[in-house]
Chain A
């Protein structure tokens, strides 16, 4: 089993609140990712990081921000939550073998966010 953890598992919050979704991994992986997924729909990459002090925007425009101050920690913050942010947020990290091929992702259990 992969050692990547997300908290909280479920979050129900009112419009306008600031929220931070936590993601931690104990595998020493450099690359980490945040994906957004609605029920029955595909995963959308919203942020990723190559390592400490590296953050990049993904393919899906997002009003969230991320930080990577420590290798193991990659939190995602929404400054002002809106109902359109209601979704499942999945964090992942990857182990890149020597040679750069065959990058495998390990996912956390996700945070189901509901904004009222």
Chain B
């Protein structure tokens, strides 16, 4: 079992819809959590950190549930430009950074 697991998708969603995906992690030594976005054949870029209290950045909302060990990302009013792969990333107490395999999102016109 992978330490960080994501549904690979693809999620095919019409423009304007709301889409959500989850990520689960198995190591209780995980301390920091992030969502990165990676466009096709490009480098990953930090989308947002994920805080225990939940946090929002425009159309994006991230949630962390430490008890159930999962992280979620919600995208409201999706745009064509949101099409990308979303990587769940977990940082552990021993300095290791673990990447999920990513969830592919296709926004359909």
Chain A contacts to B: CB under 8 angstroms: 33, 39, 41-43, 45, 88, 90, 101-110, 112
Q: Mark B44-82, 1 if CB is under 8 A from A, else 0.
A: 111001000000000000000000000000000000000
A42–B100 CB distance below 8 A: yes
Chain A CB within 10 A, most for which of B43, B44, B49, B100: B43
Instruction: Give the complex CA separation of A105 and B97 in angstroms.
Output: 9
| Least distance between B85 CB and chain A CB atoms (Å) | 8
Q: Which applies to chain B's interface (DSSP): helix, strand, loop or mixed?
A: strand
Give A42's nearest chain B residue, CB to CB. B101
Give A44's nearest chain B residue, CB to CB. B99
Contacting residues, chain B, for A102 (C-beta < 8 A) = 32, 49, 91
A104–B46 CB distance below 8 A: yes
B97–A103 CB distance below 8 A: yes
| Least distance between A26 CB and chain B CB atoms (Å) | 17
B41–A39 CB distance below 8 A: yes
B49–A104 CB distance below 8 A: yes
Chain B contacts to A: CB under 8 angstroms: 31-32, 34, 36, 41-46, 49, 87, 89, 91, 95, 97, 99-102
A101–B46 CB distance below 8 A: no
List 23 A-B pairs, Cβ < 8 Å: A33-B97, A42-B102, A43-B44, A43-B87, A45-B97, A90-B43, A101-B91, A102-B32, A102-B91, A103-B32, A103-B91, A104-B34, A104-B46, A105-B44, A105-B46, A105-B89, A105-B97, A106-B46, A107-B43, A108-B43, A109-B42, A110-B42, A112-B41
| Least distance between B34 CB and chain A CB atoms (Å) | 7
Contacting residues, chain A, for B102 (C-beta < 8 A) = 42
Contacting residues, chain A, for B41 (C-beta < 8 A) = 39, 88, 112
Contacting residues, chain A, for B31 (C-beta < 8 A) = 101
Give A104's nearest chain B residue, CB to CB. B46
| Least distance between A113 CB and chain B CB atoms (Å) | 13
